[in-house]
Amino acid sequence: MQWIVTRGLTVLLSLAVVCTTAQAADTAESLSDSQKNAVQLSGVQFATAATGLLGPAARPARPQLSRPQLFGTREAFSADNRAFGKWRDAMHRAAIETAPEATCARSGETCRLAQWRGFIDSLRGRDPRFQIEAVNREMNRRSHTRDSRNWGVDDYWASPLEFLAKSGDCEDYAIAKYVSLLALGWDDGDLRLVVLKDRRLGQMHAVLVVYLDDQALVLDNQFARVVSANSIHHYTPLYSINQTGWWLHRS
C-alpha cells in the first residue's frame, strides 16, 4: 500500500478544486484513470517527489479506519499533510477565529462569531444524527459563490467565518461543517473532507464525510439531506483529509 501512495504522487501536481466546471486530466501513465482525472486536487502543491515528501510516514490506513471505505475505494494513509497548504492555512485561520478568547473585530458589525457560537451551543447534548443534519442544513442555506468572485483567485479555501460572511464553493461548505462538528466535540478521526470527481456532472467536487454507527455519511452542498455514501454511485474519491493525516483513494 505504501507503494501506491509514493508511486501515485511522484508527478508534479499543482491542483485545485473547481466545483462548477469540469477539469481536464493529463498526468503520468502510471496513475489509474480516476487519478488521471485529479488534475486539480485542491490545495496540493508538490514541489518535490512524493517519495521524499511522505517518507516513512506513508503507511496503510490505521485499524480505526476498518470501517466502510469511501465509495468502494482502497485507501493508503499518510500522517504527513504538509503538502496540503490550503487545507492547513484554512485550519490555522479557523483556530484563530474560533478560539475561546476570540471576539468580534469591531463593534456595530454583524458578529458572525457570536451567531456561530450560538448555533453550536443550541446543538450541544443533542443526538449525533440530529447534530450532523442540523449542521448540514445550516451551512447549505448559503448560496454557492465562486472563489474568483469572492477572492479574485481560482481556488481559495475559506475558514468558517469567511464562509459565513461571503459564502463560498464546495470545499468551503465542507470546511465549515467540519469545524462546526469539531466544536461540538466530534472526534477528528470520524470526520474527513473528501475531494472527488462527480462523474455525472463531469467536474471536481468536495464533501464532508462523517463516520457514525459503522456508516459513512455524506454532508454535501448538493444534497439537502445527509445521505449514506453507499447510496451515491457517481462519485470517485481522489483523496480525503483531516487533521490526523490524509488518504489516497484508489479504485
User: What pLDDT, in 10s, does the model give residues 125-160?
Assistant: 999 999 999 999 999 999 899 988 989 999 999 999
Report pTM.
0.78
Average pLDDT over every residue of 81-109: 85
Domain that holds residue 241: 1-251
Of 74, 77, 75, which is closest to residue 57 (Cα–Cα)?
77
Cell of 190: 470520524
Q: 61 vs 89, which has greater pLDDT? A: 89
Distance of CA 199 to the CA centre of its chain: 18
Name the pLDDT band for 206 (thresholds 50, 70, 90). Answer: very high
Q: What is the CATH number of the domain that holds 161?
A: 3.10.620.30
Over range 209-215, report the average pLDDT.
Answer: 94
Helix (H) or strand (E) holding 8, with range, is helix 2-8
Burial of 241 (0-12, 13-18, 19+ CB in 10 A): buried
46 vs 226 pLDDT, higher one = 226
Which of residues 102 and 126 earns the better pLDDT score?
Answer: 126
Q: How far is CA 152 from CA 145, 149, 156, 188, in A?
A: 12, 6, 9, 31
**Total tally of structural domains belonging to the chain:** 1
Phi/psi at 128 (5° precision): -55, -40
58: pLDDT strictly greater than 90: no
Q: Which residues contact 186 (CB under 8 A, 6 or more apart)?
A: 128, 131, 210
Pairing verdict, β 44-45 and 14-15: antiparallel
